[in-house]
């Protein structure tokens, strides 16, 4: 039979990896530049918040152009179209 003590850490790692790799809608994002993305306000703690009014699926642009299907919204972020 399978030993639960050996499989549980592996399952947790796989689930966490899958969650980290998918783009999700964010209400709070890390402030990457001196300005926040469009629609977000500076919370003065290194983060930008949408105040729960909207949720966009964002990803950092990392100094490059946004990939197809994504639009630049400032603050070095791209938003899924």
Sequence spans of domains, the chain = 28-81
Return the exposure string of 36-52: e unless at least 16 CB atoms fall within 10 Å of the residue's CB, then b: bbebbeeeeeeebbbee
40-66 pLDDT, tens digit each: 999 999 999 999 887 789 999 988 899
At residue 78, the pLDDT reads 95
Give the pTM. 0.63
At residue 21, the pLDDT reads 37
At residue 9, the pLDDT reads 56
At residue 6, the pLDDT reads 59
| Higher per-residue pLDDT: 14 or 29 | 29
């Amino acid at each position: 039979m399978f030993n639960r003590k050996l499989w549980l850490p592996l399952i947790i790692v796989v689930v966490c990896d899958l969650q980290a790799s998918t783009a999700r809608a964010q209400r709070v994002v890390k402030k990457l530049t001196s300005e926040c993305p469009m629609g977000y306000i500076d919370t003065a703690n290194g983060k930008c918040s949408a105040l729960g009014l909207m949720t966009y699926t964002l990803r950092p642009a990392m100094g490059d152009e946004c990939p197809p299907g994504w639009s630049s919204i400032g603050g070095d972020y791209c938003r899924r179209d």
